[in-house]
A and B are shown apart, each in its own frame.
Chain A
Amino acid sequence: MDGLTPMVAAATALILAPLAGGLVLGLDRKLTARLQGRYGPPVSQPFYDLVKLFGKGARWVNRWPPFFAVLYAFGAAASVILFALGGDLLVLFFVHTLTIGFLVMGALAAVSPYSRIGAGRELIQAMIYEPLLLVVFMSFHQAAGSFDIAVVRSASSPLVGEIPLAWAALFLVFLIKMRKSPFDFSTAHHAHQELVQGIRTEYSGPFLALVELGHLYEIAFFLLLFSLFWPTAWGASAILAATFAASLLVDNVVPRMTWRWALRMVWIPGLLLVFANMAWIYYGL
C-alpha cells in the first residue's frame, strides 16, 4: 500500500476487504461442512447471502436498528481503510471499539428480549477481548518501537519470531470476533441459533446485509492485523493459513460455552501469555 496514492489505497481496501472477508467466511463454511462429512455451500455463499439480503424487505421495529446498522458498516469499513492508509494502532483500536458500540446500541434500542440479551452478551464479549487486544498492541509497540503501522511493518525481523505468544493471544481475540465456538454466545452464525439470532434478531433485510458487510470488514481487519506478524507476501500467507486452520479446528471441536467460562479462559491464559512475552523481551532473554 505504500506506493499507492491515498485515494487509490482507500478505494482498494474498501472493495477488496469484503471480498477477502467473504472468501474466508465461505471457505470456513465449506471446510466445516467437509469436516462433518457433508458437501457444504459453495465458497461464494456469503456473497449470495449478502446480495439476497440487500434485495429483501426489512421489518422496522423502530428507526434505531437501521440507523446503527449503517453506522456499524461505516465504522467497520473505516477501520480497514485507516489501516490501509497506514494509521496508528491505538486509533484503530478505538475506532474498532466504537464500531461494536454502534451494533450494540442498535440492538438495545429495539425493544426485544432476545436482542437485548444478545447485546448484553456482545458487550461482555467486548469486555473479554478488548484488554487482550490492547495488550497485544502494546507488545507490537515493544517489539517494533512504535504504534505506527508503517513502522511496525518495517521492523527488522518478523514479529512472529519476537512475539509469538502475542499471536496466540490475538488468536483468542480472533476466535471471539469471528463468532466461533466456544465464544459464539451473543449471536450464532448460519446454521445455529442462540437466543434466536441474539444481537442480530431485530436487524433485517438491507440492514442485516449491512451488519453482515460490517462483519466481513472486521474479518478483513483481523487478517490485516495477523499479516503484521510477518509482513512479506509468503510470510503473511503462512501466518493467515495457520490462523485459519487453527480457528477451523477449534470451532469444530469445542461446543459453545458460557460467558463466565470465556471470561476466565481468555483473560487468564491470554493476558499471562502476552505479559510473559513482553517480560521476555524486556529482560532481554
Chain B
Amino acid sequence: MGFRNAILNRSRRKSPWMLFFNGGGCNGCAIEVVACLTPVYDLERFGIVNTGNPKHADVLIVAGTVNHRNRRTLENLHHAMPPPRIVMAVGACACTGGIFKEAYNVLGGADKAVDVDVYVPGCPPKPEGIIDGVLKGCGPWKTSGGNDDATDD
C-alpha cells in the first residue's frame, strides 16, 4: 500500500485543479489569482488548472469575506468537491474578515463557513504568495496515507 500511496500522493501534488470562489470581495484577490494564471506567473507549470466545476476540483480558493448570502453557496461548492480536497483562504478578508470585519453582513472569513487548510494573508497577496499557498496546501499529500479516505462532512 505504501507504493500505491506514494504514486497517488505524487500525482495529487503534481495536478491540483483549482476552483476559485469570490465570496463577496472587491476582486483584488480575484485579479491576483487570475494573474497567477497568466504567462508571467504561470500556474499551469505546476499542473494547476482553473476548472470551474467543483466536481473536478481539488483546491477551493476562497477570496472575499463570506457573507450570510453566499455562505450557503460556499458550503454547497465545498460539499460538491470530492475528497481529497483542500481549502485556501486568500486575502485578508477571507482570512479574518479584513477591513470589513465589523460590518453587520459579513461572516468574517472563510473559516466561518468551511474548514480552511491554508491562509494566505495580504491585501491583495502577491501572486508568489498565492502560488506558495497552493503548493503548501498540497503538503498533506507528501506524507503517505494522505487524506483519501471516503469520509467527508
Residues in A lying within 8 Å of B, measured CB to CB: 29, 33, 36-42, 45, 47-52, 55-59, 190-191, 193, 196-197, 200-202, 204-205, 208
Q: Are A56 and B58 in contact (CB under 8 A)?
A: yes
Residue of B nearest to A205 (CB): B82
Q: How far is the CB of B85 from chain A (nearest CB, A)?
A: 9
A280 to B49, CA, bound (A): 47
Q: Which of B1-52 contact A (CB under 8 A)?
A: 7-8, 10-12, 14-15, 37, 39, 42, 44-47, 49-52
B89 to chain A, nearest CB (A): 22
Instruction: Count contacts on B: residues with CB < 8 A to the other chain.
Output: 29
27 A-B contacts (beta carbon < 8 Å): A29-B44, A33-B44, A33-B45, A36-B39, A38-B42, A40-B42, A40-B45, A41-B46, A41-B47, A42-B14, A48-B47, A49-B47, A52-B8, A52-B12, A52-B58, A55-B148, A56-B58, A56-B84, A56-B148, A57-B84, A57-B148, A57-B152, A59-B55, A191-B37, A201-B53, A204-B56, A208-B56
Indicate with 1 or 0, residue by residue over B48-77, a CB within 8 angstroms of chain A CB atoms. 011111011010000000000000000000
* Distance A51 CA – B45 CA, assembled complex (angstroms): 18
Q: In the assembly, what is the distance between CA of A196 and CA of B17, in Å?
A: 14
User: Which residues in B have their C-beta under 8 angstroms from that of A193?
Assistant: 50-52
Contacts of A202 in B (CB 8 A): 55
Chain B min CB distance to A199 (Å):
12
> Is the CB–CB distance between A191 and B44 below 8 Å?
yes
Within 8 Å CB of B15, what residues of A? 45, 48-49, 52
Q: Which of B44, B56, B80 contacts A40 (CB 8 A)?
A: B44
- Contact partner of B49 among A36, A55, A191, CB < 8 A? A191
Task: List residues of chain A with CB within 8 A of the CB of B39.
Answer: 36-38
Q: Are B52 and A38 in contact (CB under 8 A)?
A: no
Q: In the complex, which residues of chain B have a beta carbon less than 8 angstroms from the beta carbon of A208?
A: 56
